[in-house]
Structure formats: structure tokens, C-alpha cells
Amino acid sequence: MSSLESEKMRLASTVLGVATHLAIFIRGEWHMQAPFLVKFYLFVWIAIFAIQIYYGSTSREASVSTGSLSLCYALGLFTSISIYRRYFHRLRHFPGPWAAGITKFWHVWKCRNGKNYLVIEQLHKKYGPIIRTGPEELTIIDSSVPTAVDGPKNNCTKAVWYDFLLPEIALNTTRSKNYHDSRRRIWDNGFSTKALAAYEERIVEYATTLTRRIEQLAQNDSPVNVSDWFYWFTFDVMGEFAFARSFEMLENEKWHFAVRLLRRAMTLLGPFSPVPWLAQIAFYIAPWMYIVRDWLSMMEWCKKRMGERIQMKVDRADVSHWLIDASLKKGSLQADREWLNGDAVTIVIAGSDTIAPTLVFAFYELARSSKQQNVLFAELKDVDVFDHTALQRCEHLSALINETLRLHPPVPTGGYRQSPPNGMKINQTYVPGNVTIVVPRYSLARLESAYQCADQFIPERWTTRPHMVKDRRGFAPFSQGRFNCVGKALAMREMRLVIALLVTKFTVEFWDGEDGKRLFADMRDLFTAAPGRLDLRFKIRNF
């Protein structure tokens, strides 16, 4: 092939790259096709190489030519994408980092250490309440946004992030409103007042075991790493409700191997959250990567446990009972296996990775303030802590939990929504259609426009000092509307009981040399918050 012909071929490849973007990739969602595209382009490159070998080129000449054509195609494609996103995209007028408007890899790099909540907070200070944090993504830090995207009559849907679990599907990840609403009705049976009453006995059992274990450590004046113990408690409870068997971590005083897999797998959600298409490539093209391997192993383990749970006959109904029973009644048990598998993961993660960090941060705040402990103890000392109705009436207990959820949200930056196709208005700002909207709870909690002394832990703002809450629309720790947390009542029961049991039994303070810095320095935003280690000293109260 002459040099002139080679130049023409390279020019044609460049033009083809531009045309591919303008004719195909500029429209619709492509994240789920990422594995196919990788295989397709690999096939095309091999075919080009093989054709040149067939027509007499040496392997070296064919390699150089194929590489050159591929490079020109990529140059045309990505140059077209970059110019369009930067200068012609419908979000081009919104402020934000220059690179963020072109590629989400900017965000991947920024949150590579799992500190996305701090990255967003820094952007907020620099760019204001509306930030373009991706080519088709706006992060909006305004108290009105949770109601706008989740409240009554909104037409938002879940964003592409929620396809992360595919091919498994679950209540909290399905993007279809119809599928969600149908599945939600089944889940609601598992969290009815009657069902919750049936769960109460098991929650008490595990909370009592937790208290007994901490009492043993207190008697020996040993440090209590609450960042372990509270996770062991919540995972044991959720193992019981998902698979009718505990992980037995409270009894064994160590992490179960499957939960370790899960915890390691969750690190995938930190750096990969901004680019779900890259996660899909990793799942299908590189399952040997250790993080991906952990994720897939965890999913496989949950599938097997759900299979075993389906075959079990249980004396006490659990959450899975209602899901399995609904499939049996429809005669669609096998057809629903993807739902059951995904829902099993949901029960374990959503019921553990949200409650545990809240308990950790609640006791961090209690350790910092003997005053808060005294106020709470005075409220609880004459209350039967095993009576959930009585605990519901304890205003300061509820206020302490609310303030913990506000200042230390268990989901710091997640909860992505997608604007309706025809767009929407948020505080008189028009947001175009099919745009991902991020509403970071960590930053919402620190708005002085919404909370007086926003960065301070003051439970009384929810009771005797209501003037300190200027605008509570942004406080939606369990979300709201159709996508609100189905397990809210169960979560509140667990948190109220554990806090009440421990506060009435012990006083708590930082362990020698502990100041809580590790708790925050090592905290990771993995969709749910993963706090660092916190060692506390529990002292048995003298009555």
C-alpha cells in the first residue's frame, strides 16, 4: 500500500470515528453494551490485521497499519465526544471542573481513595450549589432537591448507576417504576406491623448477645472496637432475616468469610461508581481482577444461600419468607430467581451497611459528650427498653438518631436520580431531560441555610430547639416517595434498642489514646459509609 493510500485510510478512519459518535453514541445509554463493544472492536481489529496479512503484508506491517488505523479512529471518536460535551452539550453552561464535563474518569481519579463526599464538598465551596460533575450529571446541593426528585408527583427515575447489580435485579436497583411498584407491594408484606412484631424477638436476642459480649470486655477493661462489633451485630441480624441463619460473628467474635468478601467487594462501588460501564466491562471481560472476583464470589455465595433458604422449612417467618411465598403463589419460583438472588443481597447490604455506621457514629458522639449520655440515660432509666412502643416515645433517643443520620449519613453521596425526558425545574433552574442528578446528603447536612450551627452535633435541634432547623426538606435519611427505604421501621427498631440497651448498661468514653481521628481518616464512601476503627471504653454503670 502506498503512502498516499495509507494517508487516505487514516483520514477515513478518523472521519469514521467522528461519524460513529454523531450517528450512534451521541444518543441513548450505552453502559450495558460496554462488554459487547469491547469484544466488537477487538474482533474488528483482528479482522483488519488478518485481511492485511492475506493481501501480502508482513506481520510487522500489518500490526503497524492496524494500530495506526485504530489510533486514528479513536482520535476522531474521542475528539468529537470531547468537543461536543465541552461546547455543545445541553449542560455546558453549568459550572464545574473543566475535565468533569468531558469524562467521568476525572471523578474516578478524584474518588480513587473513597473520599467522594469530601470531593463533592470541596466542589460545592468552589462552584456553588449546582455543579456539573460529569458529562451528563449535575450535583445539586439544595434542601429543595430531595422533594423535587423523590417527592409527590415527581417523574424522576433511578439513574444508570442502579444497573450495577445486573444481571441480578432487586427492589432497590430496578429502574422500572412498574417493576419496582409491583415488587414493593411484596416487600411491604415483609415489613408490616405484624411482620415486624414477629422479628422483634430475634432482634432482642442479637442485641442482648451484643450487650453481653461488650460487658465481658468491660469487666476486663478491654477496648471495644465498635466498628467491628456493630457490623457483626447488624450482619448477624440480616443473615437471619435473609437466609434464616446468622453469620454467627457475635458468637465467634470474628468476621465471617462471606462478609469479608462482601466488604472487599463493596470497595468496587467507590472508584467505579462514576463509571458503571467500566464495571460491566470488568464483570464480563476481567473477572479475574481481585475486586471483581470478590464481588462475583459474594454474589454467587448469596445465590447459593438463597437456594438453600428456598428449600428450608422455617418455624419463624423472616423477610425472605414473604418474597419466596409470593413467588410460590404465582407459580414463578424459578422465573423469579434473579429477583430473589438480588433481593437477598439487598437485605444483607441495605440492612447492615446502613445501620452499623449509624451506630458507630452515634457512640462516637456519645463518647465525646457525657452530657448527651446523661440526658439520654435520664430519659431511658425508667423505661422498659425491650418495649419498642415505649422507646418510640423517647424523644431524645429519636433526636440523637436523627442528628446522627443528619451529620453522618450512612449514604453520604449516593442515591442517583435521572430527570424525566422533558426535563424539570428545580428552584427555577431548568434541568434538561435524562440528566443524572446527585443529591449528596453529607453536603446537604452542612448547609447553614438549612441548619443553625450545621457542622455541630446538637440533637436538641429536633426537640427543644426547633429554631435550629431552618429548612428540613433536605433531611431524608431514608429517602421519600416510592423509592423510600422499605426497612425504615426495622432499622429504627434496631438502632433504638441497641442504643437504649448500651446506654442504660454502660457509660462510654474514648479508649486511651483514641480521639476518633481514625474513624474519619479511614472512612470510605462506598455508596454506603464505611467508617474507620473506633476503640471505646465501656464502663458498667453502678446503680
* Same domain for 356 and 486: yes
Q: For 441-485, how does the pLDDT look when each residue is reduced to its tens digit (9 = 90+)?
A: 999 999 999 999 999 999 999 999 999 999 999 999 999 888 889
DSSP letter string over 462-494? GTT-GGGBS-GGG--TT--GGGS-TTHHHHHHH
- In this predicted model, what pLDDT tens digit does every residue of 206-264 receive, in sequence order? 999 999 999 999 999 999 999 999 999 999 999 998 888 899 999 999 999 888 888 88
DSSP β-ladder status, 436-438 and 137-140: parallel
Better pLDDT: 387 or 349: 387
Do residues 382 and 487 both lie within one domain?
yes
Residues 363 and 254 in one domain: yes
User: Based on the structure, what is the number of domains in the chain?
Assistant: 2
Are 403 and 457 in contact, with CB atoms under 8 Å apart?
A: yes
Query: Is residue 166 a part of any domain in this protein?
Result: no
**How far is it, in rounded angstroms, from Cα 432 to Cα 419?**
7
Distance CA 321, CA 310 (A): 9
Across the range 90-106, mean pLDDT stands at 95
Q: With a cut of 90, say whether residue 284 has pLDDT above it.
A: no
Is residue 307 situated within a structural domain?
yes
What residues pair up with 390 in beta bridges, in sequence order? Answer: none
In a domain, 423, yes or no: yes
* Closest listed residue to residue 111, CA positions, set 437, 445, 524, 409: 524
Q: Are residues 81 and 184 in the same domain?
A: no
453 annotated as belonging to a binding site for a ligand: no
The whole-angstrom separation of Cα 505 and Cα 538 is 9
Looking at the fold, whether 182 and 82 belong to one and the same domain comes out as: no
Assign 21 a pLDDT band (cuts: 50, 70, 90). very high
pLDDT at 103: 94
pLDDT at 491 exceeding the cut of 80: yes
Last residue in a domain, options 30, 58, 87: 87
Residue 93 maps to a domain: no
pLDDT at 529 over 70: yes
Phi/psi zone of residue 345: left (φ > 0), alpha (ψ -120 to 50 degrees), beta? Answer: alpha
- Within a domain: 105: no
Identify whether 388 is part of a domain.
yes
Q: Which of 87, 102, 135 is the last residue of a domain?
A: 87
Same domain, yes or no: 276 and 374: yes
- Residue 536 in grid coordinates: 471505646
Q: Which residues contact 67 (CB under 8 A, 6 or more apart)?
A: none
The reply to whether 181 and 83 lie within a common domain is no
| The pLDDT of residue 303 | 86
Question: Any idea what the CATH number is for the domain that residue 295 is in?
Answer: 1.10.630.10
Q: What angle do CA 531, 490, 294 make, to 5 degrees?
A: 45
Q: Is residue 252 part of a domain?
A: yes
Mean per-residue pLDDT of the chain? 91
Find out whether 295 and 282 touch, Cβ atoms under 8 Å: no
Compute CA distances 538 → 219, 276, 503, 512, whole Å: 9, 43, 10, 12
Q: Examine the domain organization and report whether 461 and 321 are in the same domain.
A: yes
Compute the distance between CA of residue 431 and CA of residue 435 in angstroms, rounded to an integer.
Answer: 7
- Residue 394 — very low, low, confident or very high, per pLDDT cuts 50/70/90? very high
Distance CA 528, CA 355 (A): 10
Residue 204 has pLDDT above 70, yes or no: yes
* Residue 73 structural domain: 3-87
Angle at 106 (CA atoms; ends 105, 107), nearest 5 degrees:
90
What is the structure's pLDDT at 517? 94
Q: How far apart are CA 475 and CA 127, in angstroms?
A: 23
401 near 358, Cβ under 8 Å? yes
Residue that the C-alpha cell 404465582 belongs to: 330
What are the backbone dihedrals phi and psi of residue 33, each rounded to the nearest 5 degrees, phi first?
-90, 0
CA 107 to chain centre: 16
Residue pair 99/106 in contact (Cβ under 8 Å)? The answer is: yes
Q: Can you tell me the mean pLDDT for 44-66?
A: 89
DSSP letter at 410? S
Which residue, 43, 59, 87, sits at the end of a domain? 87
Residue 1: pLDDT over 60: no
Least Cα distance to 21 among 89, 105, 67 occurs for: 89
Reduced 3-state DSSP string for 305-358: HHHHHHHCCCCCCCHHHHHHHHHHHHCCCCCCHHHHHHHHHHHHHHHHCCHHHH
Secondary structure of residue 23 in the 3-state scheme: helix
pLDDT reported for residue 40: 92
In a domain, residue 123? The reply is: no
